[in-house]
Amino acid sequence: MEDWSKKIKILTILLLFIFGRSYAQKEDDLVFIPDTTIGNVLKLRNSASVVGFFDGNIKYQESFDIEEPFVCFLNSDTSEYMIVYHFYGDLQNQFSLFEVAEIEREHKTYTCNYTKYDRFSTESGIALGMGTEQLILIKGKPHSKLETDKVSVYKYSISKKDTTFLKRYKMPLYFAEYYFYENSLIRYQFGFEYP
């Protein structure tokens, strides 16, 4: 009984330290941590992760408005789509860029594969519908911001070639872009720039 109470106390202290530290930091102090996963399964540049994400045959598509071959997925209620981009030179079923958006706003006409996922969210909790404040709490202050009529785009990137992150993936640049309409995330994409 005493062992359990000690373990619970230690776990509680550890969790308070981790979560308390992240909430105590100001948004300017946060270091941008890149996302690499959708649904805690599908990972950038990891062909083995496709098996856990989708059971069927992966059929690449090409389109006049997209340079790279891609695969399109729909969430379970068909309110969100995700396009995963396959760069020329990537291994089979290896994807280097993910894009997630609301279907009603984008009106894409690609052939999509149905999935069991309710939402396409990242490992850090990024999901459609969240507000700009939530994004900044998770990712920190954007590296740049673009404002148009009603859409705000928050941009982040990692471009220092000597970073451990870029070396691990053998890629020149990582970027993430988050599109907000009336303070609601309607589209986001993250991944690598084509080398």
* pLDDT attached to residue 2: 55
CB 66 within 8 A of CB 46: no
pLDDT at 159 over 50: yes
Give the helix, strand, coil percentages of the chain, each rounded to 5: 25, 30, 45
pLDDT at 172 over 50: yes
Angle at 58 between CA 57 and CA 59, to 5 degrees: 110
pLDDT at 9 over 70: no
Task: Please write the tens of the pLDDT for every residue from 74-103.
Answer: 999 999 999 999 999 999 899 999 999 998
Q: Provide the mean pLDDT of the chain.
A: 85
* Predicted TM-score (pTM) above 0.85: no
Residues 152 and 11: their CA atoms lie apart, in Å, by 40
Please give the share of the chain, as a percent, with pLDDT higher than 90: 63
- DSSP letter at 67? E
* pLDDT attached to residue 139: 96
pLDDT at 28 over 80: no
